[in-house]
Amino acid sequence: MEYIYRESISSMGKKLLIIFMTLPLMASLAACGGKKEALTTEAAAQTEAVAATPTAEEKKMLTFSETDKCRGDLILVNADHAYNFDANASFSPVRIVDAQQYDYPVSNEDFRLSPDIMHALDQMVKDCDEAMGTTYTSVSSAWRSKEYQQSVWDEMAELYGEDYSEQYVAVPGYSEHHTGLALDLGIIYDDGSEGTFSESENAVWMAEHSYLYGFIRRYAENKTDITGISNEAWHFRYVGVPHAAYMYQNDLCLEEYLQKLRADTSPEQPLEIEAGGTKYSVYYVSGDSCPEPEESFMISGDNCGGIIVTVRH
Ligand SMILES: [Zn+2]
């Protein structure tokens, strides 16, 4: 449910609920004298219509469970907010090599991600490669189970010492990689050798363009005091197009963005965002319910006890 835009259309006492699967997006880089990006959104990959009982005057309410508050594209996972494995028990990551529609290298064929972000990732990597004129962009880390995160922590501590692990590796249970919405990008050359992503032109391109695809460069140098993680040019997190665009344009990290939504927004006072030619209203809900929006919408928990509603106009 957390990755789904739901559209409700009421007319003549009949209600039609159209369920949109994850909004896929197509972003194309068009060069015309200089650099110019054009983002076009593809309406929906799959729709499913459900006819509901007529309820003419009834004001429909959305209700949220505690589980809802710990799931979705906008959940915050950091040193203070553990990933809720129980709330996400139904989460089923897919192998990137099975799901990818564009053939970029993945450093381990067992690497997995949320199926809902694969289209956006494919398009982002493809456009980066086209802009660079190379095919080196790779995925060097993806979804991690709690056990796997422990092995990463232990390995780094053994190789570089515990100080290094504490600085660069999240404690198991507190890694964004548990969400399946985060990944590390790398460079793998045609001969199979690896380059350093943070020193590549790809890193610059990704930092400037990833928001077009709904990803944020999660750990920036000027936000380390807030994120608690050192500058990582390679780590990207999917949050969805309107949110990524707002964070990029206003230089906010996820912690700051969620704090802004909590402090400044409500169903009556949403944050208006325009991204990729589409207008969105975004607001925070602190209780367990709110009126159902008239237009298509998506909900996500913030993993801090609240819900964020994104309405697509
Ligand atoms: Zn990472």
Residue 237's pLDDT is: 98
How far, in Å, from the CA of 184 to the mean position of ligand 1? Answer: 5
Ligand 1 centre to CA of 221 (Å) is 15
Q: Give me ligand 1 centre to Cα 65, in Å.
A: 29
Rounded distance from Cα 140 to ligand 1 centre (Å): 9
- Centroid of ligand 1 to alpha carbon of 223 (angstroms): 16
CB 238 within 8 A of CB 212: no
CATH code: domain of residue 48? 3.30.1380.10
Name the residue with higher pLDDT: 21 or 196: 196
For the chain, the three-class secondary structure string (H helix, E strand, C coil) is CCCCEEEEEEECCEEEEEEECCCCEEEEEEEECEEEEEEEECCCCCEEEEEECCCCCCCCEEECCCCHHHCCCCCCCECCECCCCCCCCCCCCEEHHHHCCCCCCECCCCCEECHHHHHHHHHHHHHHHHHHCCCCEEEEECCCCHHHHHHHHHHHHHHHCHHHHHHHCCCCCCCHHHHCCEEEEEEECCCCCEECHHHCHHHHHHHHHHHHHCEEEEECHHHHHHHCCCCEEEEEEECCHHHHHHHHHHCCCHHHHHHHHHHHCECCECEEEEECCEEEEEEEECCCEEECCCCCEEEEECCCCCEEEEEEC
What is the distance in A from the centroid of ligand 1 to the CA of 77?
Answer: 12
User: What is the pLDDT confidence band of residue 171, given thresholds at 50, 70 and 90?
Assistant: confident
Backbone angles phi, psi at 176, to 5 degrees: -65, -25
Ligand 1 centroid vs 175 CA: distance in angstroms? 8
Q: Which residues contact 63 (CB under 8 A, 6 or more apart)?
A: 288, 289
The rounded radius of gyration (Å) of the Cα atoms in the chain is 20
pLDDT for residue 71 is more than 80 = yes
Q: In this model, does residue 143 exceed pLDDT 60? A: yes
State the distance from the centre of ligand 1 to the C-alpha of 186, rounded, in angstroms.
11
Please say if the pLDDT value at position 19 is more than 60: no
Owning domain of residue 41: 5-312
Active site residue 57: no
Cβ neighbours of 67 (radius 10 Å): 16
pLDDT of residue 48: 36
pLDDT per residue as tens digits for the range 92-134: 999 999 999 999 999 999 999 999 999 999 999 999 999 999 9
How many other CB atoms are found less than 10 A from the CB of residue 52?
12
Distance CA 59, CA 69 (A): 23
Do 98 and 77 contact (CB within 8 A), yes or no?
Answer: no
Given the residues 7, 66, 232, 272, select the one marked as catalytic: 232
Percent of the chain with pLDDT over 70: 81
Percent of the chain with pLDDT strictly greater than 90: 73
Bigger pLDDT: 189 vs 43: 189
What are the angstrom distances between the C-alpha of 286 and each of 63, 171, 303, 309, 313?
11, 28, 12, 11, 23
pLDDT tens digits, one per residue of 259-308: 999 999 999 999 999 999 999 999 999 999 999 999 999 999 999 999 99
Tokens of 80: 């203070």
Residue of 42 and 71 predicted with greater confidence: 71
CA of 171 to the centre of ligand 1 (A): 12
Number of domains in the chain: 1
Distance 185 CA to ligand 1 centre (A): 8
C-alpha 212 – ligand 1 centre gap (Å): 20
Q: Average pLDDT for residues 228-236, to the nearest whole number?
A: 94
Residue carrying the six token digits 């040019």: 233
Confidence of residue 58 (pLDDT cuts 50, 70, 90): low
